[in-house]
């Protein structure tokens, strides 16, 4: 149980284009989803927290107009990298909290999406 | 400020040897602590967590961790390492400030296992 999928697993795009990454909770409802960015050999950097049906809360320094997050349903959140540039190349990871988990605060992680901007 | 420190960036052990990965945290109240493992091509997986109660916590894959408040530590241990344990290990503390509960992460420890 508690499986989170991400699609695509890898994407290569040209500079200036936009890329959408999907994050789905497959067997549970996720009221809260998180988007992280991870640079090679580094830790996870939280980009934003999204709650279903409301606007995402972005961490300081993260451009909300560049990284658009939509959490339209209890099983799907999307991250759109708009007008991507090579410096946006990174590993993007989503996670989700089970709505039924109460105070366990456990996050279930997707396998990640490798974005390369050329 | 809340923070997590993993002093060891990289550790190499021999298969069958014991393992201890260090984690120190800075948090004003009772911390909620987690250990996650990240294997290549796989999502982060929760090994164990501590919220309260018994300070020695058992997790999956034979891992355990001990919460020591006096040392602000939550070290991860395994008595006998397997080659499949080679991965990146992250310690995290739950930040309960504000309405959003988010994880504060350490920088990770990369574990290599020699045959």
User: Taking an 8 Å Cβ-Cβ cutoff, which residues of chain A contact chain B?
Assistant: 4, 32, 34, 41-44, 46, 49, 57, 93, 95, 103-112
**For residue range A17-65, what is the model confidence (pLDDT) as tens digits?**
999 999 999 988 888 999 999 988 788 999 999 988 888 999 999 999 9
**pLDDT at A103 exceeding the cut of 70:** no
Question: What residue in A sits closest to B100 (Cα-Cα)?
Answer: A49
**For residue range A26-37, what is the model confidence (pLDDT) as tens digits?**
988 888 999 999
| CB spacing of B43 vs A109 below 8 angstroms | yes
**For residue range B50-104, what is the model confidence (pLDDT) as tens digits?**
998 899 999 999 999 999 999 999 999 999 999 999 999 999 999 877 666 789 9
**For residue range A76-93, what is the model confidence (pLDDT) as tens digits?**
999 999 999 999 999 999
Residue A17 per-residue DSSP state: -
What is the C-alpha separation between A2 and B81, in angstroms, rounded? 27
| CB spacing of A105 vs B36 below 8 angstroms | no
CB-nearest to B108 from A43, A104, A107 is A43
What is the C-alpha separation between A7 and A17, in angstroms, rounded? 17
CB pairs under 8 A between A and B: 43
> Nearest to residue B22, comparing CAs of B111, B115, B95, B114?
B111
- Determine the longest span between alpha carbons in chain A, in angstroms: 43
Q: End-to-end alpha-carbon separation of chain A, Å?
A: 37
Mean pLDDT (chain A, rounded): 91
| CB spacing of B43 vs A34 below 8 angstroms | no
């Amino acid at each position: 149980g508690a499986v989170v999928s991400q699609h695509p697993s890898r994407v290569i795009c040209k500079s200036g284009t936009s890329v959408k990454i999907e994050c789905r909770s497959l067997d549970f409802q996720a009221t809260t989803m998180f988007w992280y960015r991870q640079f090679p050999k580094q830790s996870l950097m939280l980009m934003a927290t999204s709650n279903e049906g409301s606007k995402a809360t972005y961490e300081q320094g993260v451009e909300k107009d560049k990284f658009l997050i939509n959490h339209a349903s209890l099983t799907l959140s999307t991250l759109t990298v708009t007008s991507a540039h090579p410096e946006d190349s990174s590993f993007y990871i989503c996670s989700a909290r089970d709505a039924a988990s109460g105070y366990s605060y456990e996050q279930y992680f997707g396998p990640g999406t490798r974005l390369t901007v050329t | 400020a809340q923070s997590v420190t993993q002093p060891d960036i990289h550790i190499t052990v021999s298969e069958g040897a014991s393992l201890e990965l260090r984690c120190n945290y800075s948090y004003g109240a009772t911390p909620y602590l987690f250990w996650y493992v990240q294997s290549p091509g796989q999502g982060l997986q929760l090994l164990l967590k501590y919220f309260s109660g018994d300070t020695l916590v058992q997790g999956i894959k034979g891992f355990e961790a001990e919460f020591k408040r006096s040392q602000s530590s939550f070290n991860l241990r395994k008595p006998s390492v397997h080659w499949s344990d080679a991965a990146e290990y992250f310690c995290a503390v739950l930040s309960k400030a504000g309405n959003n509960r988010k994880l504060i992460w350490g920088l990770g420890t990369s574990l290599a296992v020699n045959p």
